């Protein structure tokens, strides 16, 4: 889609496209009233209103206002050509952050901190009567400037275009439908999704479970596959014990709880969070930093040291990577060399 240089509704100035999907496109924009950058999601007007995923997303996002794991809703509307949703602009999604890490893995500490927030975010969606049906790392993003928003959490859940209501307005559970199509993303989908069954709350959490395993191991056994049927075969072949090999036993308990649930059973979210917290307590993690925060600090340190090296013209610092017990990558200075012997002797004095 192409937009003119004129602000949308005389308020929002488009900056650049930051995402694209089957629904339409996402742009960053400047809000002249709030005087801050926002995100604008655009979807072309369709004659078939049932296919408009943005209408569903707007409805769900409005219901989630007040949830600390939801993006802030700002405005919505439409014109002759498209419908739009304006919301808080978030930072990178978890898939992007994962790819930026060494070996494309998160440490156990970061995985636990994210996992607890992701469980809570999914629980909020379920509480308003919806299943997400596309839980995956790229559908969670990091909130900017969370330090200035005490009522908000760092990790936000995104993209409700595939969500489905499972509760009637009177609170009764909708019976499962027959012959539904595949919903979700094959890598993270539950076996029920592969078998084209109606999805329930446990399926969202099974997708979360696969995401957490990927965080820790860097990939899933079927990450290299594209064909849904081939992926399903590997999911059947790899049992829970094989997937969790080398991980704390709580991850096996996590999956066993989900496996015990029927279609209409409510997951024990509190129990699942407690499993992850138990690991944190046992490992003595405390309130440690996220992997990307450590990475940013190390890069800042390298930049500062590089400037000092440039200023001195002689001193050169050399680093090597070390992995700590939490799996976090640290850069350690291990050699300081000098361009000439005279400078070395000065240092010794």
Going by their DSSP bridges, the two strands 12-21 and 36-44 should be labelled as unpaired
Kindly state the tokens that stand for 101: 């890490």
Measured at the CA of 65, the angle between CA 64 and CA 70, to 5 degrees, comes to 65
SS (H, E, C) the chain: CCCCCCCECCCEEEEEEEEEECCEEEEEEEECCCCEEEEEEEEECCCCHHHCHHHHHHHHHHHCCCCCCECCEEEEEECCCEEEEEEECCCCEHHHHHHHCHHHCCCHHHHHHHHHHHHHHHHHHHHCCEECCCCCHHHEEECCCHHHCCCCCCEEECCCCCCEECECCCCCECCCCCCCCCCCCCCCCCHHHHCCCCCCHHHHHHHHHHHHHHHHHCCCCCCCCCCHHHHHHHHHHCCHHHHCCCCCCHHHHHHHHHHCCCCCCCCCHHHHHHHHHHHHHHHCCCCCCCHHHHHHHHHHHHHHHHHHHHHHCCEEEEEEEEECCCCCEEEEEEEEEECCHHHHHHHHC
Q: Which residues have a Cβ under 8 Å from the Cβ of 243 and sit 6 or more positions away?
A: 213, 220, 221, 255
Question: Binding-site residues, please?
Answer: 41
Measured at the CA of 272, the angle between CA 267 and CA 278, to 5 degrees, comes to 165
Question: Binding-site residues for ATP, please?
Answer: 41
Q: Which residue out of 134, 159, 198, 291 is catalytically annotated?
A: 134
- Burial category of 337 from C-beta neighbours within 10 Å (exposed 0-12, middle 13-18, buried 19 and up): exposed
* Residue 203: active-site member: no
Kindly state the tokens that stand for 115: 């996992």
Give the catalytic positions in this structure.
Answer: 134
């Amino acid at each position: 889609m192409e937009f003119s240089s004129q602000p949308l509704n005389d308020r929002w100035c488009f900056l650049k496209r930051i995402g694209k999907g089957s629904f339409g496109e996402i742009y960053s924009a400047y809000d002249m009233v709030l005087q801050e950058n926002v995100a604008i999601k655009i979807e072309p007007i369709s004659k078939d209103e049932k296919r408009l995923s943005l209408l569903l997303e707007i409805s769900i996002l409005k219901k989630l206002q007040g949830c600390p794991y939801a993006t802030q809703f700002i405005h919505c509307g439409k014109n002759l050509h498209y419908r739009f949703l304006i919301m808080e602009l978030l930072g990178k999604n978890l898939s992007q952050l994962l790819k930026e890490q060494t070996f494309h893995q998160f440490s156990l500490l970061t995985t636990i901190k994210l996992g607890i927030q992701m469980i809570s975010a999914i629980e909020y969606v379920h509480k308003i009567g919806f299943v997400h049906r596309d839980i995956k790392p790229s559908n969670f993003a990091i909130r900017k400037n969370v330090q200035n928003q005490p009522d908000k959490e760092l990790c936000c859940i995104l993209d409700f275009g595939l969500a489905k209501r499972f509760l009637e307005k009177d609170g009764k559970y909708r019976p499962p439908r027959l012959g539904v199509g595949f919903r979700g993303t094959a890598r993270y989908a539950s076996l029920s999704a592969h078998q084209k069954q109606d999805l329930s709350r446990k399926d969202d959490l099974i997708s979360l479970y696969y995401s957490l395993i990927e965080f820790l191991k860097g990939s899933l056994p079927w990450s290299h596959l594209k064909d849904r049927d081939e992926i399903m075969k590997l999911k059947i072949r790899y049992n829970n014990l094989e997937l969790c090999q080398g991980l704390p036993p709580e991850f096996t308990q996590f999956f066993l709880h989900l496996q015990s649930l029927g279609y209409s059973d409510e997951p024990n979210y509190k129990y699942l969070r407690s499993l992850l917290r138990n690991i944190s307590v046992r490992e003595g993690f405390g309130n440690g930093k996220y992997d990307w925060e450590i990475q940013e600090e190390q890069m800042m340190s390298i930049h500062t040291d590089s400037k000092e090296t440039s200023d001195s013209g002689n001193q050169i610092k050399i680093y090597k990577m070390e992995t700590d017990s939490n799996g976090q990558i640290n850069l350690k200075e291990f050699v300081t060399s000098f361009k000439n012997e005279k400078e070395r002797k000065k240092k010794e004095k």
